[in-house]
Amino acid sequence: MNVENTIWRCARCDVPLIMKKTVFNYLGQSFTHDVPCCPSCGNVLITPELARGKMAQVEEQLEDK
Ligand SMILES: [Zn+2]
C-alpha cells in the first residue's frame, strides 16, 4: 500500500482527511507527526506507517534505558 497516493476519508463524516501536524503522547514520550485529520470532527487517523515508524522508535528508546 502506498500511503502517499491514498486519500483517507473520515469513517464518521465521509470527508477527505487533511494532513495536520499533531502532537502525540505515547508511553510517556511526546513527538509531532503529520497525520491525516478530519477537518470536520477532528478525528485523527493513525496510519500503519506512523504506528510502525514513530511509535516503534519510542518503544525502542524506552527499551534502551
Ligand atoms: Zn470526521
**Is the pTM here over 0.75, yes or no?**
no
CA 16 to ligand 1 center in whole angstroms:
9
CA 40 to ligand 1 center in whole angstroms:
5
CA 44 to ligand 1 center in whole angstroms:
9
Say which CATH number the domain at 8 has: 3.10.20
Phi-psi region at 50: left, alpha or beta (left = phi > 0; alpha = psi -120 to 50): alpha
Structural domain harbouring 31: 3-64
- Binned at pLDDT 50, 70 and 90, residue 30 comes out as very high
Q: How many domains does the chain have?
A: 1
CA 18 to ligand 1 center in whole angstroms:
11
CA 65 to ligand 1 center in whole angstroms:
38
For residue range 34-51, what is the model confidence (pLDDT) as tens digits? 889 999 999 988 888 888
Residue 13's pLDDT is 95
Q: Which whole-number Å values give the CA distances from 45 to 19, 34, 53, 63, in the listed order?
A: 10, 10, 15, 26
